Amino acid sequence: MSQTDRYRDHLATLDGYLSASLERAGKQGTALDGVVFHAGSLTSYYADDQEIPFHATPHFRRWTPLPGPEHLLLARPGKRPMVIRVQPQDYWYDTSPPATSYWQAEVELKEAGSFQEACQIARDAVGGFDRYAYVGENSEAATQAGFPTERIDPPTLLAPLDWYRAYKTPHEVDLLRRACEHAAQGHLAARDAFEAGGSEREIHWAYLRGSGHLECELPFGSIAALDGKAAILHYQQKRGAGESPGNLLLMDAGAVHQGYAADLTRTWARPQVDPTFRALLLGMDGLEQELVAMVSPGRPYLEIHLAAHQGVANLLAEAGIVKVSADEALDAGITRTFLPHGVGHHLGIQVHDVGGHMAGPEGGTVSPPEDHPFLRNTRLLEPGHVVTIEPGLYFIPMLLEPLQASQQGALIDWPLVEKLSAYGGIRIEDDVVCTPDGVDDMSRGLLPGPK
């Protein structure tokens, strides 16, 4: 199937989601004929004229890959989407029209010189915004454009729109797969830089070159953590030459293709790494692949998370880090010190895609268990869901200290923990699709695990 055909089918699916969302909103008192999706507006840093890197509103981006701010998309059930591209007369920025692409023939494409003009085109097309919702981040602009306050990001509409974001179409999966390809190339380049003795900065630069991305194009700030810094879950610094040792690299970095994100993590170790830690690393890679294989329709994502903790308990027991059995360590809650985050999340236009805690298309929340508050997904897996699987095992001082002081502290081999803490931690992450037949791992074939 061609990209144009996939996109045409994608729009038909979105039209169905739109109809269902409008119907659900209507049953809750929000009667609507359609939606105006806003790409968003440029904003500047506080007290500065430097603009914050722009990312389009995800709901707008789902309908069209048109880059840039202020564009509108008018969506009405059963009608071809109207895309109104805003191209101001401006010599400060490049406002060249986009190159001809597969998606343009499938929409009604209009041109406007400003956001206000784009709103007028949309208003003229529907006779006013009284029965249309605005979805976007600029509520002030929406009010000025004539949208009633109750029609600006109405929760009764956003709930089903967010719910249906979890179901990726074949077109979206194709874009996510392409993003994985870019990310995998970046990771391989980063691994080579690490093995050549590169600093965190040099490894990061290698990742940019390998993935073909500018810094501002990354879906999130990459993590290039050497040795002990791997114990900082969202480590963002990049130490230069002479500042960073390098027996272990934890690289967590993504890429983007037409607005859709990849999010991959690998941990690499030099030959001189302690044999016990290397056994943990290889064991974690095997555990991650076992968890990936669990992705299947109807399975609670929580079940995979709990299986990750059982696997970590097994690794701790096998390494001798705990002096009791794996089951005893699990029952004592010890694994939560070594794996303090959730096992993954939904993935799409946003790296941490919306809807992971939703109870249903009408809204509501299914909170994670009290003992696992950072789990980002409590839904049942269904075909079309794209998620990450990313177990980890870390030696984090601020979590180890209270464990050592507690009654359970006697169950830990602390001299061994101190020795292994020099390496910080381990995380392995792949991007996978839940299909009717099981799991499709989009990244493992592109990016091997540690050896």
Q: What is the pLDDT of residues 385-405, one digit of tens each?
A: 999 999 999 999 999 999 999
**Averaged pLDDT, 243-271:** 95
pLDDT at residue 148 is higher than 70: yes
- pLDDT value for 108: 98
CA distances from 65 to 87, 98, 162 (A): 16, 10, 18
- pLDDT value for 1: 85
Which tokens in the block code for residue 127? 């006779």
pLDDT digits (tens, 9 = 90+) for 68-125: 999 999 999 999 999 999 999 888 878 788 788 999 999 999 999 999 999 999 999 9
- pLDDT value for 382: 98
Question: What span, in angstroms and rounded, lies between the C-alpha atoms of 425 and 280?
Answer: 10
- pLDDT value for 61: 98
Residue predicted with more confidence, 216 or 241:
216
pLDDT digits (tens, 9 = 90+) for 418-440: 999 999 999 999 999 999 999 99
- pLDDT value for 244: 67
The count of other CB atoms within 10 Å of the CB of residue 16 is: 12
Which tokens in the block code for residue 58? 């995800």
**Per-residue pLDDT band at 182 (split at 50, 70, 90):** very high
CA distances from 335 to 258, 364, 406 (A): 38, 30, 14
- pLDDT value for 243: 76
The count of other CB atoms within 10 Å of the CB of residue 87 is: 17
Q: Are 30 and 155 in contact (CB under 8 A)?
A: no
- pLDDT value for 366: 97
**Averaged pLDDT, 353-381:** 97
Nearest CA among 438, 431, 420, 392 for reference residue 287: 392
Burial class (CB in 10 A: 0-12, 13-18, 19+), 198: buried
Question: What span, in angstroms and rounded, lies between the C-alpha atoms of 322 and 434?
Answer: 35
Q: How does the average pLDDT of the chain come out, rounded?
A: 96
Nearest CA among 162, 144, 13 for reference residue 75: 13
Contacts within 8 Å (CB) and 24+ apart, 40-47: 40/69, 40/70, 40/136, 40/137, 40/138, 41/69, 41/70, 41/115, 41/137, 41/138, 41/141, 42/69
Q: What percent of the chain has pLDDT over 70?
A: 100
Residues 6+ apart with CB under 8 A from 418: none
The C-alpha R_g of the chain, in whole angstroms, comes to: 24
Please name each of the domains of the chain with its CATH number: 3-164 (3.40.350.10), 170-441 (3.90.230.10)
Q: Is the dihedral of CA 291, 292, 298, 302 positive or negative?
A: positive
Residues 6+ apart with CB under 8 A from 189: 206, 207, 209, 210, 211
Which stretches does DSSP call E strand in 78-214?
A: 82-86, 108-112, 132-135
**Averaged pLDDT, 289-306:** 98
**Helix, strand, or coil here: 257?**
strand
